């Protein structure tokens, strides 16, 4: 997930029907009766402490994302293979792709008993888009008339027609605009949320398949407990009693628990188990493609990493990394060296981009470029460090990457661990990094555009390292209003070729989802974005 900015026109076009993941099934409605809150039917799974209170428009990372997705239901939901189906929406229609009429189903309620209405969506979207609210997902609304990045401005493109109907006017036609509406930023909010949004984020009231087990169910840095919402009647009707999401300090600890039967589902096997987990867990092990990109970013505010010198050093660092060796030795076939900035399961992916040779291991060229940079400003005894969160199982590959850099370029290079993902992200957000930083991306919705705009567009919510390119921004805008899928794809590929020259991020590899489940559960399916379809899981 997750972690933002501009319209989608053809992005959605390019994504529809794009994903085919081995072993995936539809995420449609489950007719099983939910044993709400039954302690014998609670599914235990791994997670991480959310960075922020659980407000849908400000939850931009995977730890909070899997919780918010469980607590809230949007207009549409995604199936396992990335297709959309109506959830709260009765219909989403347009004759021209620019003016949309949204009708929601009757009888929808939040868990406090209040009704889900057209205002629930319009008010939530306006809150998320408002400049002064500084929401991480605000960019998702910038294709709606009235949006502003510079001042508070109401979304004039939103109009409530009646309790169950609202209209949306986009700044330009987007034929497949509904594709993005399954992302959590488009969730509705109850009226009570606007009385004290921060307090609401600590004890959110949603309309999704699950709800907080009780006030205080979120024990920070430890776990969050959810039970099924008996009033939810959408396409994700749970077949279990709830979720207990445990925030593990390490993937190894989580893996030990699933081995012992103390954890039902793990969505990220530690690298220490790559060689053995499929044999150990058999048909309860998964190794399948997912919409996950991994790389690392170099902040532009650091000395030596901007301008011509910075461009040379970025290319040198990239060519100093032996991706083939690292993915083979460390990841044992669970990663694929990157050739672009998206994912092989996303429509438009290619390994033929101009400039992609910068992602190939080339020690001689790396040394040459580094020397050219030194001629501009000597690097001297500066230590290159690469930050990562120690709770995510990253140490082995970070050590391998910095060793490859050090051995190739003859510089000092070390890993810099942070105890948690939240702590690492805080330093990125506050411009306190001293070197590079691990920067993964899990798709919010299945499109090429979603892998580009949130991370690299000027001012985007997840562009923490402050990259800015007018050429790149203009290509994104052009692609968003392209007349066909083919045209949009070609433009987004041009935009990536700009990135390959500037290298705001150094692409490393694409991740498979490597998950396992204990024999305590059945019907475990991992979706296009690597997240299990929790509502389908049954407790044995």
Which CATH number covers residue 313? 3.10.105.10
Of 332, 317, 311, 334, the closest CA to residue 408 belongs to 317
106-160: per-residue pLDDT in tens?
A: 999 999 999 999 999 999 999 999 999 999 999 899 899 999 989 999 999 999 9
Is 244 domain-assigned? no
Helix (H) or strand (E) holding 242: strand 242-247
Neighbours of 391 (CB within 10 A): 24
Please say if the pLDDT value at position 15 is more than 50: no
When comparing pLDDT for 322 and 149, which is higher?
Answer: 322
C-alpha 45/C-alpha 257 separation (Å) is 10
State yes or no: pLDDT of 246 exceeds 70.
yes
309 pLDDT more than 90: yes
Q: Which element (helix H / strand E) includes 387?
A: strand 384-389
329-345 pLDDT per residue, tens: 999 889 999 999 999 88
Q: Of 135, 132, 136, 154, whose CA–CA distance to 144 is shortest?
A: 154
The confidence band for 25, taking pLDDT boundaries of 50, 70 and 90, is very low
Average pLDDT of the chain, as a whole number: 90
CA angle 353/318/333 to nearest 5° reads: 80
* Residue 361 is assigned to a structural domain of this protein: yes
> If we measure between CA atoms, which residue out of 516, 386, 391 comes closest to residue 51?
391
* Residue 486 pLDDT: 79
Asked if the structure places residue 167 within a domain, the reply is: no
Asked if the structure places residue 37 within a domain, the reply is no
DSSP secondary structure letters along 103-127: EE-TT-B-TTSPBP-HHHHHHHHHH
Phi-psi region at 538: left, alpha or beta (left = phi > 0; alpha = psi -120 to 50):
beta
Q: What is the pTM of this model?
A: 0.75
**Whole-number pLDDT of residue 35:** 59
User: Looking at residues 221-248, what average pLDDT do you find?
Assistant: 96
- Taking only the tens place, the pLDDT of each residue in 42-69 is 999 999 999 899 999 999 888 999 999 9
The whole-number pLDDT of residue 27 equals: 32
| Per-residue model confidence (pLDDT) at position 31 | 39
Going from the C-alpha of 472 to that of each of 1, 41, 191, 455, 468, the distances in angstroms are 22, 49, 39, 12, 8
Report the pLDDT averaged over residues 459-464: 86
The bridge status of strand 413-418 relative to strand 384-389 is parallel
Span 250-260, average pLDDT: 95
Polymer length of the chain: 540
**What is the spatial distance between Cα 56 and Cα 185, in angstroms, rounded to a whole number?**
5
| Average of per-residue pLDDT across 171-195 | 91
Q: Beta strand pairing status for 223-228 and 242-247?
A: antiparallel
Helix (DSSP H) and strand (DSSP E) numbers for the chain: 14, 21
The distance of Cα 200 from the centroid of its chain, to the nearest Å, equals 23
Among the listed residues 29, 13, 18, the one whose alpha carbon sits nearest the alpha carbon of residue 81: 18
State yes or no: pLDDT of 82 exceeds 90. no
Question: What is the C-alpha to C-alpha distance for residues 296 and 311, in angstroms, rounded to an integer?
Answer: 15
Residue 480 in contact with residue 10, Cβ under 8 Å? yes
Mean local confidence (pLDDT), 15-34? 32
Beta strand 165-169 with 158-162: parallel, antiparallel or unpaired?
A: antiparallel
The string of pLDDT tens digits covering residues 359-389 is: 999 999 999 999 999 999 999 999 999 999 9
End-to-end alpha-carbon separation of the chain, Å?
30
How far is Cα 244 from Cα 247, in angstroms, rounded to an integer?
Answer: 10
Task: Please determine, for residue 177, whether its predicted confidence score (pLDDT) is greater than 60.
Answer: yes
- Name which of 294, 331, 288 is nearest 19 in CA terms: 288
What would the DSSP string read from start to end of 63-104? HHHHHHHHH---SEEE-TTS-EEESSEEEEEESSSSEEEEEE
pLDDT given at position 442:
85
Is position 75 within any domain?
A: no
What contacts 24+ positions apart, CB below 8 Å, involve 65-70?
65/1, 65/2, 65/184, 65/442, 65/531, 66/245, 66/531, 66/534, 67/224, 67/226, 67/245, 68/184, 68/187, 68/204, 68/206, 69/184, 69/208, 69/531, 70/208, 70/209, 70/210, 70/226, 70/243, 70/534
d(CA 423, CA 94): 44
Look up tokens 């030990």; give the residue: 256
Is residue 456 classed as helix, strand or coil in its secondary structure? helix
Q: What is the predicted pLDDT for the residue at 248? A: 93
Listed residue (170, 190, 29) closest to 108, CA to CA: 190
User: pLDDT exceeding 90 applies to what percent of the chain?
Assistant: 76
Question: What span, in angstroms and rounded, lies between the C-alpha atoms of 107 and 88?
Answer: 10
Has residue 171 got a pLDDT over 70?
yes
Least confident residue range of 288-292, 409-413, 465-469:
288-292
On whether residue 223 sits in a domain, the answer given is no
Name the phi and psi angles at 284, rounded to 5: -100, 10
Q: What is the pLDDT of residues 432-443, one digit of tens each?
A: 999 999 998 988
In degrees and rounded to multiples of 5, residue 208 shows phi and psi of -90, -165
Say if residues 337 and 504 touch (Cβ distance below 8 Å): no
Tokens of 378: 């000597």
Asked if the structure places residue 278 within a domain, the reply is no
pLDDT of residue 20 exceeding 90, the answer is no
CB of 45 within 8 A of CB of 534?
yes
Residue 517 forms beta bridges with which residues? 265
Report in angstroms the alpha-carbon separations of 452 from 6, 8, 88, 210, 399: 10, 11, 28, 31, 27
When divided into structural domains, the chain yields a total of 1
> What phi, psi does 527 have (nearest 5°)?
-85, 180
Residue 323 belongs to what domain range? 289-513
- Count of beta carbons in the 10 Å neighbourhood of residue 441: 25
In this structure, is the dihedral angle defined by the CA atoms of residues 108, 110, 115 and 120, taken in order, positive or negative?
A: negative
**Is residue 185 a part of any domain in this protein?**
no
């Amino acid at each position: 997930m997750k972690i933002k900015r501009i319209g989608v026109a053809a992005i959605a076009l390019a994504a529809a029907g794009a994903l085919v993941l081995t072993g995936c099934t539809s995420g449609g409605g489950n007719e099983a009766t939910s044993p709400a809150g039954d302690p014998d039917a609670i599914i235990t799974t791994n997670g991480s402490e959310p960075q922020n209170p659980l407000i849908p428009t400000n939850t931009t990372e995977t730890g909070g994302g899997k919780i918010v997705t469980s607590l809230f239901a949007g207009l549409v939901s995604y199936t396992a293979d990335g297709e959309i189906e109506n959830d709260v929406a009765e219909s989403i229609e347009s004759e021209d792709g620019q003016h949309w009429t949204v009708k929601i189903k009757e009888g929808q309620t939040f868990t406090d008993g209040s009704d889900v209405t057209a205002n629930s969506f319009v008010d939530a979207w306006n809150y998320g888009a408002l400049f002064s609210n500084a929401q991480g997902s605000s960019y998702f609304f910038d294709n709606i008339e009235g949006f502003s990045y510079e001042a508070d401005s109401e979304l004039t493109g939103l109009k409530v027609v009646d309790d169950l109907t609202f209209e949306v006017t986009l700044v330009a036609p987007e034929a497949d605009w509904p594709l993005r509406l399954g992302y959590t930023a488009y969730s509705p909010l109850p009226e009570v949320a606007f009385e004290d949004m921060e307090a609401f984020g600590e004890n959110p009231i949603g309309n999704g398949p699950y709800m907080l087990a009780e006030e205080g169910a979120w024990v920070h840095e430890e776990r969050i407990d959810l039970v099924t919402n008996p009033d939810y009647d959408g396409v994700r009707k749970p077949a279990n009693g709830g979720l207990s999401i445990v925030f593990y300090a390490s993937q190894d600890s989580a893996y030990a628990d699933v081995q012992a039967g103390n954890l039902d589902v793990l969505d990220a096997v530690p690298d220490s188990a790559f060689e053995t987990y499929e044999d150990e867990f058999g048909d309860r092990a998964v190794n399948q493609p997912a919409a996950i990109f991994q790389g690392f970013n170099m902040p532009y505010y650091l000395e030596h990493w901007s301008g011509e010198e910075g461009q040379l050093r970025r290319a040198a660092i990239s060519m100093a990394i032996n991706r083939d060796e690292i993915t083979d030795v460390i990841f044992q076939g669970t990663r694929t060296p990157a050739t672009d900035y998206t994912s092989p399961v996303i429509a438009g992916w290619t390994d033929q981009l101009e400039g992609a040779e910068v992602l190939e291991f080339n020690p001689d060229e790396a040394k040459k470029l580094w020397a050219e940079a030194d001629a501009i400003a000597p690097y001297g005894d500066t230590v290159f460090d690469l930050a990562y969160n120690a709770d995510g199982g990253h140490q082995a590959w970070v050590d391998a990457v910095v060793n490859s850099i050090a051995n190739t370029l003859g510089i000092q290079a070390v890993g810099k661990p942070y105890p948690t993902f939240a702590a690492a992200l805080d330093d990125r957000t506050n411009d306190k990094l001293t070197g590079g930083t691990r920067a993964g991306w899990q798709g919010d919705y299945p499109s090429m555009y979603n892998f580009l705009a949130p991370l690299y567009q000027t001012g985007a919510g997840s562009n923490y390292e402050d990259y800015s390119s007018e050429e790149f921004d203009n290509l994104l805008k052009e692609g968003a209003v392209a007349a066909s899928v083919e045209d949009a794809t070609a433009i987004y590929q041009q935009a990536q070729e700009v990135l390959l020259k500037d290298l705001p991020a150094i692409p490393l590899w694409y991740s498979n989802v490597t998950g396992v489940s204990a024999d305590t559960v059945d019907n475990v399916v991992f979706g296009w974005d690597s997240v299990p379809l929790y509502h389908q899981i049954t407790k044995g």
